[in-house]
Amino acid sequence: MLAQTLRTLERDGLVDRDAKPVIPPRVDYSLTDIGREAAEQVRDLARWTERRMAAVERARGAYDADKA
């Protein structure tokens, strides 16, 4: 499953794959420019989620109390 995901990310241009012709086989992956940009966006969303989680929990509580 991991190999399939990495191939998809490579196909999408988010990672570079560098296979080394050695024994045992070795493959290195690195983020491309667009992959780094995507990672920044995900990181920003995670930070926003952390900052706003209290508001989400309050909204859930209000919703649940209203529906009870």
Q: How much is the pLDDT for 68?
A: 84
Domain total of the chain = 1
| CATH code where residue 20 lies | 1.10.10.10
- Amino acid identity of 47? R
State how far the Cα of 52 lies from the Cα of 46, in Å rounded to an integer: 10
**pLDDT tens sequence across 16-43:** 999 999 999 999 999 999 999 999 999 9
In 3D space, the residue among 3, 12, 14 whose CA is nearest the CA of residue 42 turns out to be 14
Residue ranges making up the domain that contains 11: 2-67
The two structure tokens encoding residue 38: 């995507």
When the pLDDT of each residue in the chain is averaged and rounded to a whole number, the result is 97
In 3D space, the residue among 37, 15, 42, 11 whose CA is nearest the CA of residue 27 turns out to be 15
pTM: 0.74
Q: What is the longest distance spanned by two Cα atoms in the chain?
A: 64
The two structure tokens encoding residue 17: 């794959």
Q: How much is the pLDDT for 39?
A: 98
